[in-house]
């Protein structure tokens, strides 16, 4: 089974879509946008999603710091 030009175009478009979507999600969570590149690597992308889902996000840490700072005033 050989890849045709259409297959390569679909692969590139879907990979770019995954990068843009995961890059936006990771930047909103407080991570750098380049973390979206991990979605382009098979198997590692599944591990990254698991880590992303179950680890504390940097934005959560900032919110907790602000809440503690406001509580101490």
Q: Quick: pLDDT tens for 5-46.
A: 999 999 899 989 988 999 998 888 888 898 888 888 889 989
For position 39, what pLDDT does the model report? 83
Which residues, other chains included, contact 33 with Cβ-Cβ below 8 Å and sequence gap of 6+? 23, 24, 26, 27
For position 31, what pLDDT does the model report? 85
For position 7, what pLDDT does the model report? 92
pTM for this structure?
0.69
For position 24, what pLDDT does the model report? 93
Which residues, other chains included, contact 25 with Cβ-Cβ below 8 Å and sequence gap of 6+? 36
Judge contact between 27 and 15, C-beta under 8 A.
no
């Amino acid at each position: 089974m050989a890849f045709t030009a259409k297959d390569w175009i679909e692969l590139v478009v879907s990979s770019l879509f995954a990068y843009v979507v995961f890059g936006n999600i990771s930047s909103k969570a407080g991570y750098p946008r380049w973390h979206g590149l991990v979605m382009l690597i098979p198997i590692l992308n599944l591990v990254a999603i698991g880590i992303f889902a179950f680890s504390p996000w940097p934005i959560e840490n900032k919110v907790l710091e602000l809440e503690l700072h406001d509580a101490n005033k």
